[in-house]
Amino acid sequence: MSAAATSFADQRHGSLRGRLSNPALLLLPAGLFLGFIYLLPVIDLVRLSVGGPTWSTFFERVFSVPLYWDSLVRTMQISLTVATLCLLLGYPTALLIRRTSGITQILITAAVILPYFIAILIRTYAWMVLLGRNGPVNKLLVGLGLLSEPAQLLFNRGTVLLGMTAVLLPIMVLSIYSSVSRLDAALPRAAQASGAGPIATFWRIMLPLTLPGMGAGFLLVFVAALGFFITPTLLGGPGDQMFAMHIVQQADFINSEGFLQALAVVLLVITLLFVGVAGHFLGFEFIWGGSRAAGAAGQASAADAGEGGAPRRSLLSGLADRVGWPVLRLLGRLSPAWGSWTVFILAGAVIATLILPILVVMVISFSSASYLTFPPPGFSLRWYEKFFSDPNWMDAFWHSTVIAAASAVISVVLGACAAMGIVRSEIRGKSVIMLLLVSPVIVPPVVLGLSLYSLFLRFDLVGSIWGLASAHAIGGIPLVVIIVSAALQGVDRRLEQAAALHGASPLTVFRTVTLPAIAPGLAAATFFAFLHSFDELVLSLFLSSAQLKTLPLMLWADINYQLNPVLAVVSSLEVLLVVIGLALAGPVLARTRAGA
């Protein structure tokens, strides 16, 4: 072979090796997995809804039959109300976290974060215990003489709003706190030094700068509420059922083919429509906590100043000042202590709402009574013994553990590779790719479960461990991508470049430099992926079988037919699991944030 040919072969080999070492290729495994098990089933669901000769009658039926139309309107109303309540209660809680420090801040933050990782089913069960006829709320009202006998506090719209707000509040608090924590502490002090009172400072400084976090939290809560059916089913009456419940009910009827898919597509389109509108104004980064929303807000604020610094007043700004300033002057006469006490009281009520039901359930798990009552007449371990000696509960527990472990492995391997591809590559359209990777978090679970059912039937995956693990990994991958991406951004690239300059291969650089640096983030991502799968109920309702029941399915069956302290035992054990996991992940996440 000539020297020229040899040189050409070496260049070609080097070029090929360079392409294969491109970090963008790491996006392929997660892309192929999600494309096959997530995007294709959803597309197939849409195809089935419009594929028949009478497909238009299915959609016409959704909007013309009062049962479905009223349910759709009710779902929008409840979701909007819950998002508004979360905003009103979440803002003072985020402010309280910002204003505290040390152990107080840690305890308040833990009180907000802990319930977020506890299964929705368990938190809803806790409210059923708390508000039951033998529950502590009724006993307190009777004891204070406000009621002559226990009232029916369950199965009404108010209880549904309370339960859903308590479930979704942590999302709002964390979203707002992300904006509040970035505020420059010097700005409020400068405003007050210039003569502005606390309320005027809030109106003109804090509120505009935290609007992106408020908007992101409102949209996230609203979109999550659209797909709810567990909490309304357990806490509400017949007139409180939401649209997603009709999809679950219709799935039991063989002759609902086509119409069932139409119901799911309507819910999906409404969800995507609201996300699209929000993405237009906030940027789609609000889904995974990106910063474009904040940057856009800052640019908008800067744009409101014309040439030479003269303010360019908008119609909304003028209207807000015309309405707001007279109110501010009136409120400005109040003592500043009123604002502090308002924040303290509202945030205290939020923390009590999040923590109290869980504590009550844990106490009931040690009850000696054969029925649910609080306070317990005595304490015993009989219900723990019953749980651990019941083969059905034990089988469900081990099924959930094995499925969650397998799902965590899939999520971490694929999600970590995708995060490396996003952060380390120079590929264009990273925001679009990131949106596709995290988009499963905005798809209603009932829609995803229904779309997966047809695919799993074809490949005989219904009721299989690997089938459920793969389905659960659809929601686990976004968690891993977000956490590992944050960890990778905190790694000093110069260390990786130095190792490469000394002859280390890309694999060696990753093994010796990158992996040790992101290990804390990987550990946290593994825990959250495991917990996500362990708590998953909706997908399991569609994809499990009589021979393969998970712990959430057992809980769902028992809550619907009987309430006994065994359910409190299961709830307490999961709370213990979450506490241990968060205790282990706390230092991990702290180091990750410090590196970022």
54-94: pLDDT as tens digits: 778 888 888 989 999 999 999 999 999 999 999 999 988 88
pLDDT digits (tens, 9 = 90+) for 24-46: 888 999 999 999 999 999 999 99
Q: Report whether pLDDT(20) > 50.
A: no
By the 8 A CB rule, do 319 and 326 touch?
no
Mean pLDDT of the chain, nearest integer: 81
For residues 407 and 476, is the Cβ–Cβ distance under 8 A? yes
Half-sphere exposure (Cβ direction) of 204: Cα atoms closer than 13 Å: 18
pLDDT confidence of residue 295: 43
Tell me the Ramachandran region of residue 147: left when phi exceeds 0, alpha when psi lies from -120 to 50, beta otherwise: beta
357: pLDDT strictly greater than 70: yes
- pTM for the whole structure: 0.84
Local confidence band at 232 (pLDDT 50, 70, 90 cut-offs): very high
Most confident of 155-169, 239-253, 477-491, 561-575: 155-169
* CA–CA dist 489, 420 (Å, integer): 10
**CB within 8 Å of 49: residues ≥ 6 apart:** 55, 58, 59, 258, 261, 262, 264, 265
Q: What percent of the chain has pLDDT over 70?
A: 83
Higher-confidence residue of 54 and 453: namely: 453
For position 474, what pLDDT does the model report? 95
Report the amino acid identity of residue 81: T
pLDDT at 327 over 80: no
Residue 530 CA to residue 525 CA, distance in Å, equals 8
pLDDT tens per residue across span 416-426: 999 998 888 88
Mean pLDDT, rounded, for 451-473: 91
Rg of the chain, C-alpha, whole Å: 26
Average pLDDT rounded to a whole number, residues 492-498: 78
CATH classification (class only), 23-53+379-596: mainly alpha
For residues 224 and 163, give the distance between their C-alpha atoms in angstroms, rounded to a whole number: 14
pLDDT surpasses 70 at 97: yes
What pLDDT was estimated at residue 195? 65
Tens of pLDDT, residues 401-414: 999 999 999 999 99
| 213 and 177 Cβ atoms separated by less than 8 Å | yes
Output the pLDDT for position 332: 57
pLDDT at 212: 83
For the residues 528-551, what does the mean pLDDT come to?
A: 90
589 close to 524: Cβ distance less than 8 angstroms: yes
pLDDT digits (tens, 9 = 90+) for 248-282: 888 776 556 778 889 999 999 999 999 888 887 77
Measured between alpha carbons, how far is 107 from 76 in angstroms, rounded to an integer? 35
- Higher model confidence: residue 528 or residue 313? 528
What pLDDT was estimated at residue 592? 44
Q: How far apart are CA 500 and CA 230, in angstroms?
A: 52
| 300 pLDDT tier (thresholds 50, 70, 90) | very low
Per-residue pLDDT at 593 exceeds 60: no
Break the chain into its structural domains and give their ranges: 23-53+379-596
Phi, psi of 436 (to 5 degrees): -65, -40
